Every structure is written in C-alpha cells, then in structure tokens.
Structure 1
C-alpha cells in the first residue's frame, strides 16, 4: 500500500492552506486501486487500468482528487475566503 499526499487549497495570507491524503495499491502491475488506511478497497468505481508509460502515483493522485472534488460533503467545512473590501 502506498500513500498520496496532495494539496487541496494553497496557502495564502492568514490561511495555512489544506492538504489531504489517500492510499492505493497496484495490482498485477496493471491496475491502480484506491484503498482506505487499512488497505481495504474503497469500491468498484475506485479502479483504473494503468496505460502504457503512465505513472501509477499520478493516476492515484488524480483519482483521489476527483473523488474528493465530486463529493459534496468534502467541501462542507471549507474556509470561505473573504476579500479585504471593507466599507467604501
């Protein structure tokens, strides 16, 4: 099992940013499967065949990022950036 750490939100003034992580395994040198921290597969939709010349790490990172992006609950507690507009 291998771990992927990726940036969800970059840091900015007054905000340290956010990172997230996920786990994956490579099966038969041909398929990337996303897993939980215990190595249990996350589901049938969490497999992707590795195309020739592709890096499994990049495939796993993109799969994890897209899974989070498509999950409405993942952004519920996100920080809301307010600009420095003030009163005019």
Structure 2
C-alpha cells in the first residue's frame, strides 16, 4: 500500500484535519532535523495511535507515522544512512 493510500485510509472519517495535513514532505524527509520536527508534530495529533498502528499493519515503507520513524516497513530508532560507510581516517 502506498504512503498516500495509507494516509487516506487513516484520515477517512475524521472531522478535523490533523497537524500533518499539507506537510507531507516533512514526514518523508531524510534529514534528522525534519524527522525530529515530524515526531514533535505527531505528539498532539488525535489520530497518532491509529496512524502508527496502521503503519505497522501495512508495513509502511518509510517516513514518520504516528510519531514513529519507519524504514523498510518497521519502526526504527534512527534512520540508517544509505550507501557505503565512510572510510575511517587513520590517526
């Protein structure tokens, strides 16, 4: 299920727009500052628990859902960088 379809399912049936409405780019950013801000926005959201539960149930591929960061369909503590790790600099 795509992120847009999942978000539509979560928002179906609620009367007021959640705090994330119109800010989708923030919730799919790879920058740590944006991820922290997205998690903060979720704290006061009335559908955060349902959002997170649906993201778990549908294995949301990535992004912040209900205050939790998802990567490869599972909640993670921090985003794992893409690509090869940097070479250690010899002292």
For normalisation by structure 1, the TM-score amounts to 0.30
Give the number of the structure with larger relative contact order, counting CA–CA contacts within 8 Å between residues 6 or more apart: 2
More strand as a share of residues: 1
| Greater C-alpha radius of gyration | 1
